[in-house]
Amino acid sequence: MELRVMGRVEILHDGVARGVQGRTQRALLSLLVLRLRAWTPASLIVEALWPGEWSERVATRMHVQIHRLRKQLGNGILLSSPNGYRLDLSQHSVDAWRFEHSARTALGDDMPDHDLETLRCLEAAADQWGGEPFPDVDLPGTADWQSELRDLHTRIRERCAEFHLEFGEGDAALKLLTRLTHEHPENEHAQVLRVSALQQTGQETELPGAFDEVHRSLEELGVDPSPDLLHTQRTLVHNREEEIRSDLAVIDPAGDLTPGTEDEADPTMRGSVLRRELAYILMAKGRHSEALSLLERLEALHSGLGHENLCAILLRDMVAVMALTGDLRRALRLLGEASRLDQRTTGTDATLHIIRALVLTHMSRLRRAEDALAAAGEPSGPKARQVMWWRTRSQIDRRTGRHHDAVTGALTAWNMAREDAVEADVGPILLDIACSMRDVGDAECFDWYRTVLRFAHEDMRFPLAASAHASMAKAQLLWGRPKTAIVHSRAGLELARWSGCWLFAGKAAARLAEAEEQMGDTSSALRHRQEAQSFYRRIDFPTPSPVHSGPGDGTGLRAKQAAQDGSQRTHSPDRMRS
């Protein structure tokens, strides 16, 4: 036999539901469910059902109600003793108790983060929600439990939405959050998540209306928007690309304004400066062909004007685009051309050496990368250059097996990038930290991965999101979670294809193949492995080594890497929490 007290109060015999008739009967059953497996004294029952009316007559009414309920429940369920009354049922036999147990288990600290099985556990708990607990029942204690169960249901759905967003499943998150925010317009965390889901699903045009709706709902409730909500509004609604195009339409609509000098403060350089910024925005959004075409036109313009310093910078920008698409050999050729221009002018740009070292690192030419970084000298000069030096140092260390040194380098870059007035791209730095912590066997890498993904989606950095998904898939494989690795691999593969990042597409397809092999799906794994090789051949990139997963708790991975490093695990003094 089972009891339901969510949605409606009823008794189930052999799967057949029968409603409990009468408000007093429902209240009595609810009270006994609330105190399940504990003896409820007769005096407490009388006080709960007929407050302030204790008498022999009321005691008789109580016994009548007990008798009626016992008949509905069946023999041996409602027990009596000198201590009072109780139900001889397990918590699993009552829907409210089942839901609470499942929800607290799914939300527990011991559940692994960023894992597909945790999401399935959360969804299973959400499915056990049967509706408002104890409907039409007003008893001491039920109101508190009702509030607890409602709060658990809300937290479960928020957590599910966070997982869907992390896995790149924006449509599933949006469906869940739209309903949640409709039911609870005052829930600002859910509102912020819904805005992120709109952005992730490419519905940026819906954002102004969504924010107006949120502000209107909060105003009706007399609640001021939180700083987090206001920050999200500013971040997601702001569209720099449209601003730049509007400015260009005014100052240089034909694109033929000839710069007088290379000085960015010169008004005649305004069009070139804006177009270069626009190229970086297009690159971040995965529109690489447009970005590259814009940079090539600018480089040709300044080459004709003899602006060799600026041409070297534009060639360096083109290298950044090619690094995202995986065209690393062409990137090296352009770097050579930029270096020759630099030698004819200042001959002191260490940044070019650092970029060369970074490109060579991605090509697994680690000895040449070390030489290039050595040619750049020690980290000095502008803070942005120092940040890039430490990023490169970290990546070389990580690929040569010096994992703890890699963590130190990545965290040094991160701490420097957070200083005031330092112009540094923090997204790739966050990813460096996540990857280096992954390789050292530190489970906190998942917190950093989640931060990267949120940053990438909020800023519409689709190549960064693709790389982060592919990299996190590797982490899931190392922690023995092939099902979750498949989710991240597919999200990374879709984003990489869409944005034309063939290197990231190859990595995501390779991780997908490895995960499918671990799941026993050999035919699909073979297909995706061939797809990965086609991506790598497309950009003439060497095929990376496969990932060998360790035990599910990561202890084998940690022990192996600790032995390689021979040092204590490095911890950040100021971790970023997602």
User: Phi then psi for 17, rounded to 5 degrees?
Assistant: -90, 140
Mean of the pLDDT values across residues 172-188?
87
Residue 97: is its pLDDT beyond 60?
yes
- The answer on pLDDT for 348 being more than 70 is no
Rounded to whole angstroms, what are the CA distances from 492 to 223, 295, 462, 508, 542?
39, 27, 9, 6, 20
- Mean pLDDT (the chain) is 82
Highest mean pLDDT (candidates 66-70, 142-146, 285-289, 316-320): 66-70
Quickly state the pLDDT bin for 526 (edges 50, 70, 90): very high
Average pLDDT over residues 55-82: 88
Mean pLDDT of 464-477: 93
Residues 398-407, buried b or exposed e (16+ Cβ, 10 A)? beeebbbbbb
Sign (positive/negative) of CA torsion 385, 387, 389, 395? negative
Q: What average pLDDT does this structure show over 227-251? A: 68
Q: Which of 281, 344, 371 is CA-nearest to residue 317?
A: 281
Place 429 in a pLDDT band, splitting at 50, 70 and 90: very high
Q: Tell whether the torsion through CA atoms of 6, 12, 15 and 19 is positive or negative.
A: negative
pLDDT band at 86 (very low <50, low <70, confident <90, very high): very high
Over range 37-48, report the average pLDDT: 88
Chain-centre distance of CA 493, in angstroms?
Answer: 16
266, amino acid identity: D
Closest by Cα among 133, 132, 124, 120 to 102: 124
Q: State how far the Cα of 339 lies from the Cα of 267, in Å rounded to an integer.
A: 28
Q: How confident is the model at residue 520 (pLDDT cuts 50, 70, 90)?
A: very high
Q: Is the pLDDT of residue 571 over 50?
A: no
CA 572 – CA 416 distance, rounded (Å): 13
Question: Which pLDDT does position 422 carry in this prediction?
Answer: 67
Non-local (6+) Cβ contacts of 281 within 8 A are: 240, 241, 244
State if pTM tops 0.85.
no
User: Rounded mean pLDDT of 25-44?
Assistant: 89
- Listed residue (501, 450, 493) closest to 470, CA to CA: 493
Q: How far is CA 120 from the centre of its chain?
A: 17
- Which pLDDT band holds residue 426 (cuts at 50, 70, 90)? confident
| Res. 347: pLDDT tops 50 | no
The H-or-E segment that residue 359 falls in is helix 350-362
Model confidence at 570, in pLDDT bands (50, 70, 90)? Answer: very low
Residue found by looking up tokens 């987090």 in the block? 228
| Mean pLDDT for the stretch of residues 227-247 | 65
What are the counts of helices (DSSP H) followed by strands (DSSP E) for the chain?
26, 5
> Contact, 403 vs 397, CB < 8 A?
yes
Looking up tokens 């040092």 gives 567
Instruction: Give the mean model confidence (pLDDT) for residues 457-485.
Output: 89
Residue 557, pLDDT > 60, answer: no
Work out the angle at residue 121's Cα, subtended by the Cα atoms of residues 119 and 124, and round it to the nearest 5 degrees: 110
State yes or no: pLDDT of 94 exceeds 70.
Answer: yes
